[in-house]
Amino acid sequence: MTVVNIVGARPQFIKAGPVSKALRQANIDELLVHTGQHYDPIMSQRVMEDIGLREPDINLGVGSGSHAVQTGRMIEGVEGLLRGIEAAAVIVYGDTNSTIASALAATKLHIPTAHVEAGLRSRNRRMPEEINRVVTDHVSEYLFAPTQTAMDNLTAEGLEGRSVLTGDVMFDAIRAVDIDHVPTAQWATGAFYLATIHRAENTDDPDLLGAIVESMSGLNDPVHLLAHPRLASRLAEFGIGSSGSLQIHEPLAYAEMIATLQRSSGLFTDSGGLQKEAFMLRVPCVTLRTETEWPETLEGGWNIVVAPGSALGEVMQRPISENQAKPFGDGRAAVRIVEHLSLALSEL
Ligand code: UD1
């Protein structure tokens, strides 16, 4: 029995790491496929090494393009690959173009698809990720929900019969980092904030991106902004650079990012994964979006959603209450996913 594990973008390497390990431990044959959506070493190889994900067996080398071009190339690539092998199932992660493309290609070949991180909803149909989530959930056979909220969303859409609450594989991943022994970024000294911005809604409008950058550059402590390639290219295009408290850097690899986040006084982000990681480490987070798919992180005030571009002076000073909540499971999500999948496949 071969299970095809498909990744393509940075957060997927992180999510697939624990699942790949659990497949190995269960003696299930895995074909690890990289679509090639992310290809820069810092977005791809270094993250994979950090998380302990082995070298992919196949890289489809799809690269960048418009949504239609990128997604279309991936569907073609994954379909070609799946036609040539006997796959028992395909596993896809999260909400990227690699996710939807792989789910569509597999399902149309009648190969059951398992969606890890199913059931997330922002209810904002202008986000490409939201379209990817909804479609992937509705075509997939096995839906692995990270949280009770995600389960409730799946139930509301009539998908509960295919859904299982497993916990979040990103919690499995963070628990595997030996955080006290990983060096932080060299600039991570004194009091500082970390920031990341990469969503198309925030990066692609020069006025909005200018306002976001300005809202961070006026803070008292340094704000270290880690520029994802999309952001780096927009900043260059719009002529925006480091100013005031704002210092722009290259992205960090996974373990260094986690250690640096833990050292920081707070995080400004539009990333879904980082909102959760901040909550897991109990670092205050400000989400620069109009909504969040992770309402669990709002508990106790650890995360707050603030309209991108609005003033940030006071917002990190808000009261936060200690809490012991563990909404992302017990660190055994990947093992549970593999157990459920192998049982379901053995009954087919
Ligand atoms: C993708 C996902 C998003 C996820 C993010 C994580 C979709 C629709 N979006 O967004 O959900 O949160 O990954 O990082 O799939 N680029 C490079 N080098 C790379 C990768 C990308 O230069 O290694 C450039 C491309 O030229 C492109 C831009 O970055 O113009 C955006 O890349 P793309 O894969 O389209 O989407 P992301 O913004 O990374």
| Residues 90-113: tens digit of each pLDDT | 999 999 999 999 999 999 999 999
Query: Strand locations in the chain, DSSP E?
Result: 2-7, 29-34, 58-59, 87-93, 113-116, 142-145, 163-165, 193-196, 223-226, 246-249, 266-269, 285-287, 303-305
pLDDT at residue 88, rounded to an integer: 97
pLDDT at residue 340, rounded to an integer: 98
pTM of structure: 0.96
pLDDT at residue 92, rounded to an integer: 99
Average pLDDT, stretch 268-283?
97
pLDDT at residue 96, rounded to an integer: 98
Q: What domains sit in the chain, N to C, each tagged with a CATH number?
A: 2-168+329-346 (3.40.50.2000), 179-317 (3.40.50.2000)
For residue 90, the CA-to-ligand 1 centroid distance in Å is 22
DSSP string, 159-197: -GGGEEE---HHHHHHHTS-GGGSPPPTT--SS-EEEE-
Using one digit for the tens of pLDDT, what is the confidence trace for 131-176? 999 999 999 999 999 999 999 999 999 999 999 999 999 999 999 9
SS3 content of the chain, % helix, strand, coil (to 5): 45, 15, 40
- For atom 7 of ligand 1, the residue with the nearest CA is 96
Provide the 3-class DSSP secondary structure of residue 113: strand
- For atom 17 of ligand 1, the residue with the nearest CA is 229
> What φ, ψ does residue 119 adopt, rounded to 5°?
90, 5
Using one digit for the tens of pLDDT, what is the confidence trace for 279-300? 999 999 999 999 999 999 999 9
Whether 313 shows a pLDDT value over 90: the answer reads no
Whether 43 shows a pLDDT value over 90: the answer reads yes
For residue 38, the CA-to-ligand 1 centroid distance in Å is 6
Catalytic residue among 38, 198, 224, 228: 198
- For atom 15 of ligand 1, the residue with the nearest CA is 96
pLDDT at residue 260, rounded to an integer: 98
Average pLDDT, stretch 227-237?
96
pLDDT at residue 324, rounded to an integer: 86
Using one digit for the tens of pLDDT, what is the confidence trace for 51-86? 999 999 999 999 999 999 999 999 999 999 999 999
Which tokens is 21 given? 């390990």
Which tokens is 179 given? 């955080």
Residues with beta carbon inside 6 Å of ligand 1? 9-11, 37-40, 43, 64, 95-97, 128-129, 198, 228-230
Which tokens is 295 given? 């309402």
> What φ, ψ does residue 112 adopt, rounded to 5°?
-60, 135
Atom number in ligand 1 closest to CA 98:
15
- For atom 5 of ligand 1, the residue with the nearest CA is 9
Contact 209, 203 (CB under 8 A): yes
pLDDT at residue 221, rounded to an integer: 96
What is the distance of C-alpha 52 from the center of its chain? 17
**Average pLDDT of the chain, as a whole number:** 96
Residue listed under structure tokens 């650079």: 241
Q: For a pocket test of ligand 1, which of 10, 15, 38, 59 has the largest count of ligand atoms closer than 8 A to its C-beta? A: 38
For residue 104, the CA-to-ligand 1 centroid distance in Å is 20
Bridge-based pairing of strands 29-34 and 58-59 is parallel
Active site residue 198: yes
Whether 348 shows a pLDDT value over 90: the answer reads no
pLDDT at residue 90, rounded to an integer: 98
What is the C-alpha separation between 230 and 224, in angstroms, rounded?
17
How many secondary structure helices (H) and strands (E) does the chain include? 13, 13
Residues contacting 242, CB < 8 A, separation 6+: 248
